[in-house]
Chain A
Amino acid sequence: MTDRERYKQAFSTLHSSGQFTLEVEEMEQIRRNHRKNIAAAAAIACAVVIGTGGTVYAADIGGIQQKISMWLHGAQTEVNVTQNSEDGSGGYTFTYTQEGETKELGVGGVSLDEDGNETWLSADELAEGLSKSADIYVDEDGRVWIYYYDQKIDVTDSFDGNGVCNLTLTHGDEIVSLEITEDEDGGYSFMQTQVSSETDASAESDTSTTATTYYGITDGR
């Protein structure tokens, strides 16, 4: 018996259980859940510090710092960026001030190419992604608000009997659809899909072969 035959004999004992689905709808659901799970897990891992005015001194961890201007919670915002590790794998800390409060936002994300490779996103890519992403906020009265660039929309009364709200938003030539879901614990999550863009036809995030996952998006409000 040759080495090759020996090897094949040894590894022929490995068999898939076949417990996977090839149904399109189920695969789409798994894909959506996978993205939500990544976001939830990473958000839990994020440390959030909220200051009350004045200056917040970020921990000196020897990271690289830079400033970025981006859309956050409906306002164009100057953000100080601290890189948490040299290769970006530790994510970034965005520090910014809005309405007199200085806040920290832990962010990270990966880009998945068509060969299944993950690459850590840079701070600029994260900021661009977050700027383009809608933002959900529940106020003290329990009203549910969606921020998208400079728009602020009250969607509290737009949920159907299953706790789902579908919304289409536009900004310039960008058109996105949002599916907002009320979770069992009273929180909210949403999926954003780019419907079209006259300037960037390849940016249809949900049908493109390149998927990008942003996570850790929380500011403790």
Chain B
Amino acid sequence: MRQSLHELAAMYQDNLFAAAFNICQNAQDAEDVIQDTFIQYHTTKKEFENEQHIRAWLIRVAINKAKNVTRTFWRRNKVSIEDYMETLTFETPESADLFETVMQLPEKYRIVIHLYYYEDYAVSEIADILKLSASNIKTRLSRGRAMLRKELEGEWVDDR
């Protein structure tokens, strides 16, 4: 099956932005990743099994493109995460703490945490998206949680 780009943009643009931002930590780069991801969808002749297949593929492509951005030597001047956070509105101070703490995690833990807690993917699904083994994902998830627990103390209770 295929869905129209307009449909997909309405449904997933914020999810793709959040996933890309999680990796490249730069809003403009994340916007570029969204554009490139939709161009990739437009270009690919791939047939998808269902909506969830499309969603997972879009997220995978956005993550890969965001990783490509971080490897590019002519990357644009970065706005620091602290400066960018000042432009965001958080519901509570705890939300801001959590956001900042997650952004300080190493990338390999950050993206796994994001896919688990934000996108509600199971370990096996994250493994499929990132092309890693399930045990590897479990390890990253466990270490990422431990770091959050340590840094956030009572604000992160590790309730799974």
Q: Complex Cα distance A189/B17, Å?
A: 33
A-contact bits for B112-124, CB 8 A (1 contact / 0 none): 0110011010000
Say if the beta carbon of A61 comes within 8 Å of chain B: no
Residues A19 and B18 in contact in the complex (CB < 8 Å), given A10-B96, A31-B39: no
Which B45-87 residues have a C-beta within 8 angstroms of A? 45-46, 57, 60-62, 64-65, 68, 71, 73-74
Residues A116 and B159 in contact in the complex (CB < 8 Å), given A11-B99, A16-B13: no
Task: Tell me whether A117 and B95 are in contact (CB under 8 A).
Answer: no
Task: Tell me whether B35 and A116 are in contact (CB under 8 A).
Answer: no
Interface size band for B: 35 or more
Task: Tell me whether A20 and B35 are in contact (CB under 8 A).
Answer: yes
Residues of B within 8 A of A10 (CB): 90, 94-96, 98-99, 102
B-contact bits for A167-199, CB 8 A (1 contact / 0 none): 000000000000000000000000000000000
Considering the complex, give the chain B residue whose CB is closest to the CB of A117.
B64
Interface of chain B, helix or strand or loop or mixed? helix
Chain A count of residues within 8 A CB distance of the other chain: 34
Task: Tell me whether B40 and A13 are in contact (CB under 8 A).
Answer: no
Say if the beta carbon of B151 comes within 8 Å of chain A: no
Residues A15 and B14 in contact in the complex (CB < 8 Å), given A9-B92, A20-B35: yes
Task: Tell me whether A3 and B31 are in contact (CB under 8 A).
Answer: no
Say if the beta carbon of A7 comes within 8 Å of chain B: yes
Residues of A within 8 A of B157 (CB): 3
Top 8 closest pairs, chain A to chain B, by CB: A116-B64, A7-B117, A16-B17, A10-B95, A116-B61, A20-B35, A10-B98, A16-B13
